[in-house]
Structure 1
């Protein structure tokens, strides 16, 4: 998953929950500008920040092993 895809998922979920960017940024302890960049795929946030945002939005981060190509 790319940064843009992660940002798109965060933005879509935030909108479904009707949470504003300023509110989400405050809850996550980041600046509005940082959240804006994350949602646009222009930031390189730490896994801790992405995880915090995901928790707030009721999402989870999963890592899976890819199936080998045969």
Structure 2
């Protein structure tokens, strides 16, 4: 099992990035072995469809669970 965490930095002490599609990094963690890998989000500056691209990236990397903040468009009054 692999878990992805959206992160503002590339190490385990970094703060959770609450933006799913536009986070700076993903930290991929194997909870059983405690091994992790930081991967820069190459989609974060895309104009449209960023969330879909990032979701496919997560799937392609065999992630079983995701820890993040907001997913989807934020609509403000």
Q: TM-score, normalised by structure 2?
A: 0.30
Structure showing the higher helix proportion among its residues? 1
Structure showing the higher strand proportion among its residues? 2
Q: TM-score, normalised by structure 1?
A: 0.31
